[in-house]
Structure 1
């Protein structure tokens, strides 16, 4: 199997899992643990040390917010970012988080929604998809 075909397979699996996570989070505001496990398994396709570092470093900002303000960010979002960091790596994982948070802020400013419960997973999933598509492989 060629390197290009592995990237395509990894991308299809990654997008599929992120889509399920986004839909489930939007409906229930819960991201099932199976999502995080699947993302870690997907990261084994082309696994390197950057993936392992992404798993540990990318969720740190989200974890710090979740610990400080327990109502604004859930543990599922932290684990989702760990899985995204594992698939994308450190810099790409941080970029995905930044894009997802930026989309969330922009869309909610346009909609005029403030201080309301929200599902962050769909925004983080879109950020991860964008980064996967544009980041060099």
Structure 2
């Protein structure tokens, strides 16, 4: 298999899992643990040290917010970002979270839903998909 075909396979699997996570989180406000496990397995396609560091570093800001007993951020979001960081790596994982958080703020302001709880997973998944498409491989 060529490197390009492995990237395509990795991307299709990544997008499929993120799409499921986004839909499930939007409907139930829960991200199943199988999502995080699947993302870690997907990261094994072309795994390197950047993936390992992404797994530990990318979810750190989310974990700090969740540990402050924040009701707006759950453990599923932290684990989702760990999986995304594992697939994308450190810098791309942080970029994905920045895009996802920016999208969540922008869309919820446009919809007039200030200070109302919402599922963050779909926005984080969208940010990860965008970065996967535009980041150099």
Q: TM exceeds 0.5?
A: yes
Instruction: State the Cα distance separating 1:114 from its structure 2 match.
Output: 1.5
Unaligned 5+ runs, structure 2? none
2:32 aligned residue: 32
Instruction: State the Cα distance separating 1:70 from its structure 2 match.
Output: 2.5
1:68 aligned residue: 68
1:20 aligned residue: 20
Distance in 2 between residues matched to 1:10 and 1:84, nearest whole Å: 12
Instruction: State the Cα distance separating 1:116 from its structure 2 match.
Output: 1.2
Distance in 2 between residues matched to 1:65 and 1:105, nearest whole Å: 16
2:45 aligned residue: 45
Report how many residues are paired.
137
2:112 aligned residue: 112
Unaligned 5+ runs, structure 1? none
1:2-31 per-position Cα deviation (integer Å, ceiling 9, x unaligned)? 000000000000000000000000000000
2:77 aligned residue: 77
Residue 115 of structure 2 aligns to a residue whose secondary structure is coil
1:36-58 per-position Cα deviation (integer Å, ceiling 9, x unaligned)? 00000000000000000000000
| Moved beyond 3 Å, runs of 4+ | none
Distance in 2 between residues matched to 1:110 and 1:24, nearest whole Å: 23
Instruction: State the Cα distance separating 1:95 from its structure 2 match.
Output: 0.2
Residue 126 of structure 2 aligns to a residue whose secondary structure is helix
1:96 aligned residue: 96
Residue 81 of structure 1 aligns to a residue whose secondary structure is helix
Taking structure 2 as the reference length, what is the TM-score of the superposition? 0.99
Instruction: State the Cα distance separating 1:69 from its structure 2 match.
Output: 3.7
RMSD, aligned α-carbons = 0.5
